[in-house]
Chains A and B, each alone.
Chain A
Amino acid sequence: MSARWNRRRFGAMLVKETLQILRDPSTFLIAFVLPVVLIFLYGFGVNLDTARTRIALSVQDDGGAAQSLAGAFQHSRWFEVVTTGDLAAMQRDMVAGRVRGIVVIPADFSQHIARGSGGDIQVITDGSSPNTASFVGAYAQGVQSAWAAAYQFDRGRHVVPAIAIDQRFWFNPELASRFFLVPGAIAIVMTMIGTLLTALVIAREWERGTMEAIMATPISMSEFMATKVIPYFVLGLGSMTLCAMLAVFVFGVPFRGSPLALLAISSAFLVPALGQGLFISAATKNQFVASQIALLTAFLPGMMLSGFLFEISSMPRWIRTVTYLVPARYLIPPLQTVFVAGDDWSLFLPDMAAMLGFGLVFFALAVRATRRRIA
């Protein structure tokens, strides 16, 4: 291997690598089919905005107040009452997962209301889905307090709360979870192309020995790395563009930043992603092991430790420290910002610098691993 760059040689290698990628149908699957599937799933399937939850309602009181509260539950936009009556049957429904909560209006409820001495109701939730359970509890409280205020008001007793909160959600007033999930899906797709696909393809060349054949040619190390990486870089950007178009035009995710900023942020992320893929393939030289390691060190941290699904600030301290080593952590905030908020270079630049820093480290490691392999 010489250290010189030769434009003709470089061009020929680039054409060869590009053709090789374009010829394989699995590349097409990952770069264009997976993004579409992911965006559709995140757009439709992964819905953190709770729809109507199925509950059981047990009214043990014939009084007017109890019946009126029961009506409030039946007409609530948060609940769908699917069973009434027998408590034992309700319990079986909870175990089988047919209902997520049981609301019990006890026998003395109307009496308590009439006397003005409280009037408690009981709500039993299915704790095996903690998220849904806490929604059921909170919404039941909401239904009850709205009902109580209306009931008191009808009887001329007007109680004003001391403090009300006027809530405003900037950037995403309807709180649609797809606004943050879809940019997150872009991060996953770029991780897949940058790290998993690159690691697999190059590990295959090592496995089959074609890598040594290329090494024996006069091509220089930097030329060689560049020809391997540039086609995937372009592929990653292409696939990101497809995702962004789908997100904006099909799922109505706003795009308030500039395309240039999106391009800059994505390019900055692809550098560490590709570097990591190169390094994994050079270090393992085995497709199965490379795919497992790419899954474990790029895909899973990208999903779990990037702040895309789970809030980083809520994690225990040691794992918060670990998140600083995950390049995707620096991608999610600028990506979400460029979609729903707009260009904010004071937020973008430090994150981009961090990603490029990781990229340098990974490429240096990849060069070292490749050199050692040949020697």
Chain B
Amino acid sequence: MNTAGFGRILAMIVKELWAVLRDPRARITLIAPPLLQLILFSAAATLEVKNITVGVYNRDGGAASAEFINQLAGSPDVQRLIPLHSAQDVSAAIDDQRVIAVVEFDEGFSRAVAARHTATVQAIFDGRRSNAAQIVSSYFERIAAATGAALRPAARPAGEVIITNWFNPNLDYLWFIMPSLVVTISSLSALSVTVQSVARERELGTFDQLMVSPLRLHEILIGKMTPPLLIGLFNGTLYLIVIPLIYGVPMTGAVGSFYFALIFCQLAIIGIGMFVSALSQTQQQGFLGMFLVTVPMTLLSGFASPVANMPWWLQIVAQANPQMHFMIISEGLFLKAMPFADVLANTWPLIVIAAVTLTAATLQFRSRVE
């Protein structure tokens, strides 16, 4: 590239940065949402089920059921027990979502325990919240085992399963959320800046003016790509500082590897944004198109649920999703000290996605001009 070309690109980049940063309200929307999302997510996103209310319908009244209820009341996850007095009470409490579950003891419960039979507790759960219900049912299993052990100590010691959690010893959900947020939030801001800058100029007709200027198409595109890349890198850096310092999530991998992967992830995302804006005529179409892309991208990234749980054909579709690849890298670098070879293995799909989408966008723009 000659110096004139370099000068043109530089001028274009300066113009683009001005366009993005000029409006004070737009400036705020670049910084405030990422931070607000960080605060909200860190507080709200939890897969634990705590502070639950459980209904108790006790027709037994013996020592064994009293022991079970004691153990239940002592559980740190249970906030309140509501005594229920009839089958109608039980269904009303569940229907109105006053309780997530009900435990019910029949008349012979304590007698069965005393007779060394297996005594059965009925547990009814609100299946509308099936995920929470499942977790509560695992709490009940634990309480049943503890009560059983207290009532009837075993003669022979049974073998145990000793569980060790690597990379995140206490299975703190925050440690998973934070490295994922780096991915979803930096992608969202890069995408919205890209779409906005191109679609706005198209709507106002100034994009055609750029096209007839001495700038070449690739120079325009490089100029358009720079602000979102810089903003993505800025947000990435912000998170890289805030996450270990404020949230105490360790950053065990190499910072260089992180930036290496971040740059290619941003380029892949920007490529997608360019392609979406190449297809839209107005800002509105651009935004909505962006939304149509962002929601599936986030859902298929492994953030909402593991990619391994998806059907095989959707796992193939997910390969085209930059967020999915960067999610593996981010989790790996923050928690697992992922070596560069593994980072590279997950980065090359990002390079392919960036190359394909940017080429497609360029062709689309060119065909519009001719």
Binding site for B on A (CB under 8 A): 24-26, 29-30, 33-34, 37-38, 41-42, 44-51, 53-54, 94-97, 100, 109, 112-113, 116-134, 137-138, 140-141, 144-145, 148, 157, 159-173, 175-177, 179-180, 188, 192, 196-197, 200-201, 204, 284, 286-289, 291-293, 295-296, 300-301, 304-305, 309-311, 313-316, 318-319, 333, 336-337, 340-341, 344, 346-347
Q: Is the CB of B160 within 8 A of A118?
A: yes
Q: Are B299 and A176 neighbours in the complex by a CB distance under 8 Å? A: no
User: Nearest CB to that of A144 among chain B residues?
Assistant: B161
Among B46, B159, B280, contact of A315 (Cβ-Cβ < 8 Å): B46
CA–CA, A204 and B337, complex, Å = 48
Q: Min CB distance, A79 to chain B, in Å?
A: 12
Given A45-B314, A96-B342: 17 more A-B contacts, CB < 8 Å:
A46-B305, A130-B47, A130-B173, A166-B121, A171-B126, A196-B291, A200-B287, A286-B23, A286-B26, A289-B23, A292-B29, A310-B46, A311-B48, A313-B51, A313-B52, A341-B128, A347-B96
Contact status of A46 and B304, CB under 8 A, knowing A118-B160, A130-B176: yes
Kindly state the separation between the CA atoms of A289 and B156 in the bound complex, as whole angstroms.
68
- The answer to whether A172 and B308 touch (CB under 8 A), given A37-B295, A200-B284, A305-B44, is no
> Would you mind naming 24 contact pairs between A and B with Cβ atoms under 8 Å apart?
A24-B284, A46-B304, A95-B338, A96-B345, A112-B159, A124-B165, A128-B331, A130-B173, A132-B306, A159-B154, A165-B141, A169-B124, A169-B133, A170-B126, A179-B128, A188-B295, A192-B291, A204-B283, A287-B284, A288-B26, A304-B41, A311-B46, A313-B51, A316-B43
Measured between alpha carbons, how far is A157 from B158 in the docked complex, in Å? 12
* A124 partner, pick from B96, B164, B192, B296, beta carbons under 8 A: B164
**Alpha-carbon distance A172/B127, docked complex (angstroms):** 5
Stretch at the interface among B32-40, B206-214, B222-230, B232-240: B32-40
By the criterion CB–CB under 8 Å, are A128 and B162 in contact?
no
Q: B86 on the interface (CB 8 Å rule)?
A: no
Task: Given A128-B175, A128-B335, A140-B161, check contact A38 B295 (CB 8 Å).
Answer: yes
Report yes or no: B337 in contact with A95, Cβ–Cβ below 8 A: yes
Cβ contact within 8 Å between A129 and B147: no
The A-contacting residues of B in range 141-158, CB under 8 angstroms, are 141, 144-145, 147-149, 151-152, 154, 156-158
| CB-defined contacts of B287 to chain A, threshold 8 Å | 200, 287, 291
Tell me if B113 and A133 are in contact (CB < 8 A). Answer: no
Chain B residues in contact with chain A, CB under 8 A? 23, 25-26, 29, 32-33, 36-37, 40-41, 43-53, 64, 68, 79, 94-97, 113, 116-134, 137-138, 140-141, 144-145, 147-149, 151-152, 154, 156-169, 171-173, 175-176, 179, 192, 196, 200, 280, 282-285, 287-289, 291-292, 295-296, 299-300, 304-306, 308-311, 314, 328, 331-332, 335-339, 342, 345
B277 CB to nearest chain A CB (Å): 13
**Bound Cα distance from A51 to B53, whole angstroms:** 30
Which residues of chain B are within 8 angstroms of A37 by Cβ–Cβ distance? 292, 295-296
Interchain CB contact under 8 A, A177 and B295 = no
When distances are taken between beta carbons in the complex, the residues of chain B under 8 Å from A138 are 138
Q: With A162-B119, A162-B147, A169-B130 in contact, do A131 and B25 touch (Cβ < 8 Å)?
A: no
- Pairwise interchain contact A161-B337, C-beta atoms closer than 8 A: no
Given contacts A165-B141, A180-B130, A313-B51, contact A30 B283 (CB under 8 A): no
Task: Give bound CA distance, A166 to B280, whole Å.
Answer: 57
B141 contacts across to A, CB distance below 8 A: 165
B299 touches A45 (CB 8 A): yes
- Assess the A304–B33 pair: CB atoms within 8 A: no
Pairwise interchain contact B148-A163, C-beta atoms closer than 8 A = yes
In the complex, how many angstroms separate the beta carbon of A121 from the nearest chain B beta carbon?
6
Residues of A within 8 Å of B163, CB to CB, are 122-125, 137, 140-141
| A363 → chain B closest CB, angstroms | 23
Q: How far is the CB of B200 from chain A (nearest CB, A)?
A: 7
Please give the distance in Å from B216's CB to the nearest CB on chain A: 27
